[in-house]
Amino acid sequence: MSDPCSGELRARVPRCLLDPRAPAPATSHGDGWQAVHLRWREARLQQVQPLPEPSDLSAPLVLPTFCEAHAHLDKVFTWREHPNREGSMDGALAANMQEHGLRTAEAVHARANAALERAWHYGVRAIRSHVDSLGPGAAASWDALTTLRRQWRGRIELDLVAMVPLDQWSTPAGVALADRVAAAAGCWAAWSALPFRAIPVVAAA
Ligand SMILES: [Zn+2]
C-alpha cells in the first residue's frame, strides 16, 4: 500500500517563489511559470527541483497555502439579518452596532466556523482577524473565537487581534481585556478615530 504522505510530482510554480539565487533555466519562456519536480515525504516537501524544459501549461499549478491577513470573523455572515443596503461606511457601522448588541457566543461560533470551513476548502491555512472588543458582544466574540482557535489548530492558525479605541487600554476594563488577550496568545490594536467618514458628494457644475 502506497504512503499517501509521500510522493513526487511534475508541476509548475510561479518563478518568483523559487530561490532567486538559483539560475534560471535557459529554456524558460518568460511566462512567469517554472516547471519543477516536487518530492515530499511524511507530508513535508523535501525537494523543489527546477526543470530545464519549458513550463507545460497543462501541468498542475502548485501554490503555497494562502494567508488571509485581515478578516473580521466575529461578524461574518451577518448580512442576511443585519444588511447595509445603502452600501455606505456609516450604514455598515450602524448594522455592525445593531448586530453587536445581539451577539452570542453560539452565533459567533457557528458563523465563524462556517467561514473557516470555506477558507480551509479553498486552501487558506492562516487567518488574522480583528475582534470587536468593546461593548456587549465582546466577551461572546472572544469566547467563541478562542474556542475555534483551539479547535482549528493544526489546520488553520488563527491570530486574534483585539480592537478598541486607544484610550480604552488605560482603563481597568482595558487592562482586564489585555490580560485576556495575552492569555489567548492574541495581540491588540487600537484606533484613535474611526478610519473612514462619509464624504459628502459634491455634484459637478
Ligand atoms: Zn479590521
Q: Could you tell me which residues come within 8 angstroms of residue 166 by beta carbon, excluding any fewer than 6 positions away?
A: 190, 191, 192
Total domain count for the chain? 2
Mark which of 16, 35, 63 sits at the end of a domain. 63
Residues 165 and 178 in one domain: yes
CA of 21 to the centre of ligand 1 (A): 37
Q: What is the pLDDT of residues 154-180, one digit of tens each?
A: 999 999 999 888 888 889 988 888 888
Q: DSSP letters of 39-104?
A: EEETTEEEEEEE-SSPP-TTSPB--PPEEEEEE-GGGTT-TTTS--TT--HHHHHHHHHHHHHH--
CA of 40 to the centre of ligand 1 (A): 37
Own/partner pairs, 171-179, CB within 8 angstroms, 24+ separation: 177/133, 177/138
Residue pair 98/135 in contact (Cβ under 8 Å)? The answer is no
Residues 78 and 174 in one domain: yes
Residues 106 and 168 in one domain: yes
CA of 132 to the centre of ligand 1 (A): 9
Q: What is the pLDDT of residues 19-47, one digit of tens each?
A: 878 776 655 566 788 888 999 999 899 99
Mark which of 63, 78, 96 sits at the end of a domain. 63
Residues 11 and 99 in one domain: no
Is residue 131 one of the residues assigned to a domain? Answer: yes
Residues 37 and 108 in one domain: no
Q: Could you tell me which residues come within 8 angstroms of residue 138 by beta carbon, excluding any fewer than 6 positions away?
A: 131, 132, 177
Residues 94 and 136 in one domain: yes
Mark which of 63, 81, 98 sits at the end of a domain. 63
Residue with cell string 457566543: 105
CA of 164 to the centre of ligand 1 (A): 11
CA of 52 to the centre of ligand 1 (A): 44
CA of 173 to the centre of ligand 1 (A): 21
CA of 53 to the centre of ligand 1 (A): 44
CA of 73 to the centre of ligand 1 (A): 10
Is residue 205 one of the residues assigned to a domain? Answer: no
Which residue from 134, 70, 116, 124 is spatially nearest to 142, judged by alpha carbons?
Answer: 134
Residue 78 has a CB neighbour count (10 Å cut-off) of: 21
Is residue 77 one of the residues assigned to a domain? Answer: yes
Residues 72 and 51 in one domain: no
Residues 14 and 47 in one domain: yes
Amino acid letter, 33: W
Residues 86 and 153 in one domain: yes
CA of 130 to the centre of ligand 1 (A): 5
Residues 95 and 42 in one domain: no
Residues 99 and 30 in one domain: no
Is residue 197 one of the residues assigned to a domain? Answer: no
Is residue 2 one of the residues assigned to a domain? Answer: no
| Domain of 43, in residue numbers | 7-63
Residues 37 and 121 in one domain: no
Is residue 1 one of the residues assigned to a domain? Answer: no
Residues of the chain with pLDDT under 50: 196-205
CA of 71 to the centre of ligand 1 (A): 6
CA of 162 to the centre of ligand 1 (A): 10
Q: Dihedral of CA 22/27/32/37: which sign?
A: negative
CATH number of residue 117's parent domain: 3.20.20.140
Grid cell listed for 57 = 501549461
